Amino acid sequence: MTVKGRLTIEKERCKGCRLCIHFCPKEILEDCGELNKLGYRPVHLKDQEACTGCGICALMCPDMIIQVERGKGA
Ligand code: SF4
Ligand code: SF4
């Protein structure tokens, strides 16, 4: 399997604004269903294989808590 993008999301800093979910062209980010220490519902990646590594989610996050590595782990 070739991994095109690998995400790291600092869930404890996520404020659940949903901007990343809204802008992901593959629609593979979602509410993880749990509260973090700040009392917000952070997001997680539901389909690693579908991630293209485009980086739009990281660009849109106002708190810059998403990091995207491209083309690693193949
Ligand atoms: S890198 Fe692109 S495809 Fe992957 S989760 Fe972020 S916006 Fe979606
Ligand atoms: S854009 Fe950032 S702060 Fe907002 S839900 Fe996504 S990861 Fe959390």
Tell the CATH topology of 5-70. Answer: Alpha-Beta Plaits (3.30.70)
Best residue among 46, 52, 64, 67 to mutate for probing ligand 1, ranked by most atoms within 8 Å of CB: 52
Q: Could you read off the pLDDT of 45-65 as tens digits, one per residue?
A: 999 999 999 999 999 999 999
Q: Which of 46, 70, 72, 64 is nearest to 9 (CA)?
A: 64
Handedness of CA 66, 25, 60, 32 (dihedral sign): negative
Residue whose CA lies nearest to ligand 1 atom number 2: 54
17 lines ligand 2 (CB under 6 A): yes
pLDDT tens-place string over residues 9-22: 999 999 999 999 99
Q: Give the sign of the dihedral formed by CA 22, CA 23, CA 27, CA 33.
A: negative
Instruction: Name which residue sits closest to atom 6 of ligand 1, judged by CA.
Output: 57
pLDDT beyond 50 at 74: no
**Under DSSP, is residue 5 helix (H, G, I), strand (E, B) or coil?**
strand
- What pLDDT shows up at residue 64? 97
